[in-house]
Structure formats: C-alpha cells, structure tokens
Structure 1
Amino acid sequence: MAQTILHKADSRGITDLGWLKSYQTFCFGNYYNPDRIHFGALRVLNDDIVDGGKGFGDHPHDNMEIISIPLEGELRHEDSMGNTAVIRPGEIQMMSAGTGIYHAEYNGNKDKPAKFLQIWLYPNQLNVEPRYDQIVLEKGKALNNLQQIVSPNKEDQGVWVYQNAWFYLANFEKGFAQNYSLHNEKNGVYIFVIKGSVETANTLLEERDGLGILETDQLSIRAQNDAEFLLMEVSMTI
C-alpha cells in the first residue's frame, strides 16, 4: 500500500515582508521544521505573492535546479549569464545554478501583484555550467490531461533538469479522473493543488494542500471540483 505525507495549506511556513508574502511547504529562510526539510530531490516549494513594483534584488545561487511557474501577473528576470526576460502565466522558467549565478526577479507591473511558484530541486550533477531556459506552454493541453513541463531529457516536452524528475500541470474538470504511472517505482510523487480539489491515494486535497506519495508505481487522481494542480515525480535518492 502506498505511503503518504500530507501537508495542509495552513501548516506551511509563512514569511510576510509587507511587499512579499511567501508560503513555504518545506524549510526556507526563517521557517524551520525538521520533518519538512525536503521530499526526496524536491527541496523548495514556495508559493509567493509579490506586490507591484517590488521584488528580489541581485542574489546568488549554486548547485540547484530552480523552476518558476507564474500564476498571475508577470515577473521580470535578470541574471549574470546576460539573460533578461519576462515570465507570465502559461510559461515556465528554469535555471541550473551549477557553479554559481546571480539573478534578480521583480514584479514589473506597479499596479498588480505577481503570484508564482518557485521550486528547487537538488541536482544529480554538481558544478555544471549555469544554464537558463524559458518556454511557452501549448495552450489548452492541460485540460483533462497531465501536461509535461519538466523532465530529465533534452528531447522531451518542457524544460529539462539535472535530476530524475518529471513535472506535470493539469486542469481537470469536476469528476474527471486519470491514472499516472511512475517512471521508476523507487521515485516519489508530490501533488500540489493550485485551485479546486482532487482526491488521490484515499486523500482529499484542497487548494494549496500538498501530498507526498511513496512506495507505489501507479496512482489515480480524480477532480472533486474543477481543479488545477501540479504533479511532481522525483527521485527519493539525493
């Protein structure tokens, strides 16, 4: 039988800097919980809201795979690799920090907040050359479907990362169900509900709940209401 780890939305860490509200599923910044350091290779899952015109100044990263998923508004990005970009809903941004990068990200819209998920993965290769990628997702492909957005393979759909990880975005209509087969039964799956509610592994997940699922090779996900969610299959070995 599958093993599960439930993280309810209201159990997350919270950082409130006025201009930034960040809800942290795993330990980050001043939030520390020894039971929530990581889920396998999944190290950070932050649910961030940035006020208009505000943002994060130049700061460093190394040896981490960093994925940003915009939910509302837009984020402007600049980095030490010379990249300048804007990311919006329907796009995915990925950085392999590798040997080290500096970057800044801020809300370029002065009147509306920007909401996004920032996700960090431990890499399976250290000190690689830093790399940036940004893609536009095919519109409508997530409707009643698991739309792949991240994988370890350059040839696959979505962005690729230095880790055995596969991410999918989905928009399920109420009552729709789909099975998911893991790429490796030793991996784990973490499901994060963005909107609505789903049931999986005999557990009801509501908005911003997260569930880690272990010791299974397949699972079924059913939308209890119209739902948007993120499914992340990751290596449990780091």
Structure 2
Amino acid sequence: MMITQVDTQAQIYLQNQRGKFQTKEFRSFYTLNFGDYNAENREPFGNILTWNDETLLPQCRHSIIVEEPTRIILLPLVGAIEIDEGKKVKYVDSGESLSLLVTPDNGFEITNPYPDKVINYLQIRVLANDQFAEEKTLIAFDLNRNNQLLPILNDIPDQTKLLIGKYDGREEGVYYSKNPSGNVFVFIIEGAFEVQNRLLERRDGLSLKGAVEVEFEALSNEAILLIMESAG
C-alpha cells in the first residue's frame, strides 16, 4: 500500500487498554476518558468527547445524562436498542444509526427490548454547538454494499462526518479529509485492517492529526471499520 507522505500525528488506542465500567446489567469500555476513567493520552480528540463500546443485558436499562449540550450518536452492533425519551419510544436496529442532540435537562434511557438477547452498541459523544440544524436524525445503511464507505451521519456545518464500511480481505480504500485540520479517528468494529501502515484489530482505534488522505487495507474477510472526521 502506498501512503501519501504528509505531516501527521498518530496515536493507537488498543482495545485491551480501554477503561471499563461494569455492573451486573451493563458494561462499557472507554476508548477516551469518561466518568471516573482518566488516563494519560486519552483526552477528547478534536470535538469527539466520548467513544464507548457498551453491552446491555436482556430487558435492562441504562440512563444517559450530559453536563453540556452534546451530540450523541448511537450505533447498534448486535441487536436493536430502544430509546425512551419520556414521551415516546424509538427503536434503532442494526444497520441504522441515531444522532441525538442532548442537553442537561433532556436525558434519555437506552433499553434492551429482548427477553433473552444481549445487545452491543457504540455510544459516541460529540461537542454540540448552535450550528447543529437537526435535533434527531435516523439513518439506515446497507453493509451488504461491500468495499465502500457509507455515510451514517448527516453532513453538518462543523465538518463532523462518520462513515462505515465492510471490506473483503485485501481490499483497499482511501478516505479524503474534508476538514482543513485533517483530524480523523478510525475504529475497527470487526476483523483487522492496516491503516496508514499501522495494524489495527477488533475494537482498536487510531487518531490521526493532519491526515489529508487515510489509506487502509482489510486483512480479513468481512472486516468493518468506522471513520470519523473531527472538527477542532
């Protein structure tokens, strides 16, 4: 794989070095600092505040609260999640992503709707500001469209973008940064990839600063990655 030579700064976040919080009903792994987890070099990346990999047992609930206006992106990986905002309930299934603008006075609950199935989802938090036009966006995508990046977050004025792709072994791809800062965060959901000449495996992350192009190659079949471009 040919890598474009640019002045980039990179940091790998290994899955086995993540923070962890667990109860008898709920478990969350923290790629970035969150709650009581505060480790060196795990600070927010650009406007990405939180990157949590969460598991919820059958028919259990988990409350979401924030201390400042925050864009929360929920991406089910195994099963569906139920969102209870008090007045109405919304279901988000695998193959969908939900983006919510949350303020300190309008938190919500995530519920596992299944009687006998564990669910797994990503919770990503992004610093919100007045430029966000929509309070809630549900986007469906088809991961059977192999070997291409699919947008799963509407374009918004602050240049935050999120894409997902499933790749066959040895298939290559390139993401071209739209943000002058070139702040890009890559997260491996399944399988293994080589990203900018770095090996990343399941649930590893990689932050890149000043990345004009991000080149990657799948090292296993049905490998899935997320690419998020961050402002700031």
Match of 1:148 in 2: 151
Match of 2:207 in 1: 212
Indicate how the Cα distance of structure 1 residues 61 and 53 shifts in structure 2: closer, same or farther if over 3 A, else same. farther
Spell out, residue by residue over 1:168-216, the C-alpha distance to the aligned partner (whole angstroms, 9 max, x if none).
0000100000111100231311100001000011100000000001122
Picking from 102, 113, 131, the partner of 1:97 is 102
RMSD after superposition: 2.0
> Is 1:134 the counterpart of 2:130 in the alignment?
no
Spell out, residue by residue over 1:91-127, the C-alpha distance to the aligned partner (whole angstroms, 9 max, x if none).
111101247412111101120101000000012328x
Picking from 186, 199, 204, the partner of 2:194 is 199
Indicate how the Cα distance of structure 1 residues 224 and 30 shifts in structure 2: closer, same or farther if over 3 A, else same. same
Residue 16 of structure 2 aligns to a residue whose secondary structure is: helix
- Map 1:158-173 to 2 at 5 A: 163-173=158-168
CA–CA distance in 2 between the matches of 1:135 and 1:150?
7
Specify the code of the residue in structure 1 equivalent to 2:225: F
Picking from 113, 138, 141, the partner of 2:118 is 113
> Is 1:234 the counterpart of 2:230 in the alignment?
yes
CA–CA distance in 2 between the matches of 1:223 and 1:21?
28
Indicate how the Cα distance of structure 1 residues 58 and 152 shifts in structure 2: closer, same or farther if over 3 A, else same. closer
Picking from 24, 27, 32, the partner of 1:26 is 32
CA–CA distance in 2 between the matches of 1:57 and 1:191?
27
CA–CA distance in 1 between the matches of 2:199 and 2:49?
24
Q: TM (normalized to structure 2)? A: 0.90
Residue 10 of structure 1 aligns to a residue whose secondary structure is: helix
Picking from 129, 132, 155, the partner of 1:124 is 129
Spell out, residue by residue over 1:105-159, the C-alpha distance to the aligned partner (whole angstroms, 9 max, x if none).
1101120101000000012328x79822223224523x10000111434xxxxxx
CA–CA distance in 2 between the matches of 1:100 and 1:31?
24
Match of 1:158 in 2: none
**Larger deviation: 65-74 or 50-59?**
50-59
Match of 2:3 in 1: none
Q: TM (normalized to structure 1)? A: 0.87
CA–CA distance in 1 between the matches of 2:65 and 2:229?
28
Q: Percent identity?
A: 23
Unaligned runs of 5+ in 2: 1-6
Conserved? CA contact 1:107–1:113, under 8 Å: yes
Picking from 33, 36, 44, the partner of 1:38 is 44
Tell me how many residue pairs correspond in the alignment.
225
Conserved? CA contact 1:64–1:120, under 8 Å: yes
CA–CA distance in 2 between the matches of 1:62 and 1:200?
33
Q: Which runs of 4+ in 1 moved over 3 A?
A: 57-62
